[in-house]
Structure 1
């Protein structure tokens, strides 16, 4: 099965369900952790901009979501650490 999707910011992710060597899986996890951290940082910048426009409720909701993202990112990083042992 081959699934691919594109985010609206222009890049795609391949979700093929074929066996991959462990090193490839670790490399993919490294990429995903970094990718997610990048998105988290983008959300923080967006919240900051909203705060300056007076949209404090939207800002607070985004910052709440950022906390959820950071929790998920920590779990993914822990998983990556486990895979690298």
Structure 2
């Protein structure tokens, strides 16, 4: 079984360089995809309402990742 990992999230509102922004968005989109896969696997190990909620969370994370990828595409000028 995979171990869960801890996230520290600082919320300083410093401006990032364009390169940092692109790198961070790419990282976050990929990271969310990995979490979505983990949740998908977990959803198949439980039943009922919990499984349904986990499946919905997978959809939410997938949509979120798609928005990050779209923002990344726009920032790269790939409109």
Q: Once superposed, what is the RMSD of the aligned Cα atoms?
A: 1.7
1:61 deviates by 1.6
Aligned residues: 74
Distance in 2 (CA, whole Å) between partners of 1:13 and 1:73 is 18
Structure of larger gyration radius: 1
Higher strand share: 1
Cα gap change, 1:79/1:27 in structure 2, threshold over 3 Å: closer, same or farther? Answer: same
Matching of residue 74 in structure 1 with residue 74 in structure 2: no
TM-score of the two chains, using structure 1 as the length reference: 0.74
Ranges in structure 1 where 5+ consecutive residues have no aligned partner: 1-7
Q: Which residue of 2 aligns with 1:4?
A: none
Ranges in structure 2 where 5+ consecutive residues have no aligned partner: none
1:16 deviates by 3.1
Higher RCO (C-alpha 8 Å, min separation 6):
2
Matching of residue 35 in structure 1 with residue 47 in structure 2: no
TM-score of the two chains, using structure 2 as the length reference: 0.78
